[in-house]
Structures are given as C-alpha cells and as structure tokens.
Amino acid sequence: PRTRQDLGADEQTMCEGEQSNLTVGVRVRPLNFKELNDQRITAIVEANGQNITVECESSRHTFMYDHCFVSYADSCTPQHATQEVVFKNMVLPLVENAFEGYNACLFAYGQTGSGKSYSMMGTETCGSELGSEAGIIPRFCHEIFCRSMRNSKVVTTVEISYFEIYNEKIHDLLGVNTSGGKRAPLKVREHPVFGPYVVDLSQHGVNSYEDLQGWLKVGNSQRATAATGMNEKSSRSHSIFSVILTQTQVDVPSGNQPAEPSRRSKINLVDLAGSERLSQTCASGDRLREGVSINKSLLTLGKVIASLAESTNNRKRGFVPYRESVLTWLLRESLGGNSRTAMLGTVSPASVHLEETLATLRYACQARAIVNRVRVNED
Ligand code: ADP
Ligand code: MG
C-alpha cells in the first residue's frame, strides 16, 4: 500500500485536516453619479441575503452565494451593506479562525471600478478610532489589537508585510529604500516546509492601530496606478497584505518555558487587479504589456479555481497549475490548501457593465465549489 510519503504534496493536503469550503460573498456597489445621470438602469433586479438576480434582454439569471451585499446610493435603506456589515459577515469568522491558529485568506475579485479597493482598504482615517468607511484590512487589524488587549494570558505579536505583483514582478510596498534608486523586484522561493515565499520581503512588527495606519499610508502611496480607458486612476496590480499572528501563553507554571507551544497563523488579504477584458481598456503599448501579464495572473487564478472546483466534483485532485503565475504560486495554500479562505466578488449594478458583472458572478459561483483542508498551526 502507498504510504503518506508516496503521495504528492497536493494529495497529502487532500487527505489531511478538516474540510473547509470557500466562503463566497458578492457585493454590489451603488450606481455612481455618471451612471445615475445617464439614466442607465440597473441590471440587478433582485438581491437578498444569499441570492442575486440579473436581467439581460429577455433572460434572467439567479446566482446563490453565502452572502450578498447591496449598497444603494440612498444609504437610509435598511439593507444598505456598510463596511461594517461586510466585515461582520465575511471577515469576523476569519479573525476567529486566525486566533484559533488557522491560516486565512480573503481576496476581492471584480472589474475595475466595482469596489475592490473600497472594500479591502476603504477610506483612510487618522487616530485610534476606526472610521465608518474603513475597509477590511484596517478593520481586521483593529479587531486583532482589540482582542489581544482583552486577553492578558496570551502575548500576541502582529507582523505585517505588504507587496504588489505588477507585470508578474514583486515589489515590496513597505521596504525601506536605502539606495535612493529603483529597487529590483523580489523573487519567489519554495521553503521545504512552509512553501512558497517572497525572498527579502520586509516584515514589520506592529503594536497598535495607529502604527498600522502609518504603514498603510506608506504602502498605499507606493501602489502602482495608471490611467486606463476604464477608470482614470485604476490599479493595475495585485496587492497582498499579509499578517502573521503569533500567540504565546504567559501563564507559565514552571520556569520560563511556555506551557503550550505558540500558535502562529498567516492571513493574506488580497486586492486583485481589474478582471475586465483587455479589449475594454483601450490597451496599447505599456498599458498592453501590463494588461497581458495582469491577465496571466488572473487567467491562471481562473485555471486554478476551475481545476480545484473540478477536483471537488470528481473527488480527486488533478493537476493544479499553481506555478504558472506569481499570484497563484504565492497563494497556493489559500487555494485548496491549509487556509480558511473567502472570496468577495465585487460588481457594478449598471446595465452597461452587464457582461463583466455576469462574468464575475459566474466566477464567484465556481469558487464556491472549492474545498480546502485546514489544520491548526503549532510551533
Ligand atoms: P476597484 O478597486 O474595484 O477598481 P474602487 O474600490 O476604487 O474600485 O471603487 C470605485 C469607486 O466606487 C470609488 O470611488 C469608490 O469609493 C466607490 N465605491 C465602490 N464601492 C462602493 C460602495 N460599496 N459604497 C460606496 N462607494 C463605493
Ligand atoms: Mg482598486
């Protein structure tokens, strides 16, 4: 009989740990001023807690998710999905998981201008209070700091890193530039135990929410942005904000040795580049080159999701092309591996964007079939 050592890494992941389905939510942003003035009617005809119905010409399509969030321009509507509502439903369970010692990941997927960055980062604020427009990343960190202050028996350390993948190259968004010049892109390497990682990526210990805001300001100002035909200042890169949470017991019965091993979990919060097709962005020259490699990472993400979804249906893991792009290589554990993972699909309600909206909704449906295998990390 085959022993565990005979199995490939992917197969080992398939048969170890607890099953954990990807949680998928879809968020519909409000119509913007231009769309309201154009009187372009909305393509989303119905949305409730889990279902979303889209109408195109004579047909209707209904999709089902774990959560549907709708934001109306008129924010007095009771259903209005605020940043807080999205956080409570999609992210709070991941915070719980992280404190239990599981890895976690959330990624935002959708066309440019659909609300990925608004959802992930939101609007910057200062001070120790969380602003109402703060997105998933600041809220996640704020929650970690609040929880760790409440528990005096455990010392919690928080380390962050923030990088972007732009044209398949990795740039540290928090690196200290000592040379004053342009820094060379970073490389990915494979650790025999911990898997793929970014070589020489800077990591920063963070003690408070104010501290974190300082780092976010640095990182966000470094994100590559460029004007495209779709959106004046759209982000053409994938950004990955990672947190390493380590918890160590201080209640030591004898000597200085901790009574229990420390718990360590890694959390990836990912803001993907726009999913729209190249044809819509008036791509040429430099923009075209960016578009091509953005598509390479997103295309591979699509292939990975499709093959994982197929594995679930066939109950057998086939070949998953993780290494075909930097993004999927680095997110390997988050997709089909040891991580509690959630995806937030963001869409526009305007009927002009119907085709892209349908593409995102279908993509998100497929992602629901993915099953990860999770276990608690212990040192
Ligand atoms: P993306 O990152 O997907 O390109 P953005 O997050 O930048 O899109 O959103 C585009 C615009 O729409 C921004 O001005 C943003 O503030 C606004 N927006 C997006 N989602 C929402 C929402 N749920 N509520 C209010 N405004 C939103
Ligand atoms: Mg963006």
Per the annotation, the verdict on 169 as an active-site residue is no
Q: Tell me, using a 6 A CB cutoff, whether residue 345 lines ligand 1.
A: no
Cβ–Cβ under 8 Å, residues 331 and 268: yes
| Ligand 1 centroid from CA 255, angstroms | 53
| Ligand 2 centroid from CA 7, angstroms | 40
| Contacting residues for 213 by C-beta, under 8 A, at least 6 apart | 124, 125, 126, 138
Terminal Cα distance for the chain, rounded: 31
Set out the domains of the chain in order of their start, with CATH numbers: 4-372 (3.40.850.10)
Give the model confidence (pLDDT) of 69-123 as tens digits. Answer: 987 655 445 456 899 999 999 999 999 999 999 999 999 999 999 999 999 999 8
Q: Tell me, using a 6 A CB cutoff, whether residue 353 lines ligand 1.
A: no
Q: The whole model's pTM is what?
A: 0.88
Per the annotation, the verdict on 219 as an active-site residue is no
Give the model confidence (pLDDT) of 235-247 as tens digits. Answer: 678 999 999 999 9
Tell me what the pLDDT averaged over the chain comes to.
Answer: 82
DSSP secondary structure letter of residue 378:
B
Per the annotation, the verdict on 115 as an active-site residue is yes
Cβ–Cβ under 8 Å, residues 110 and 116: yes
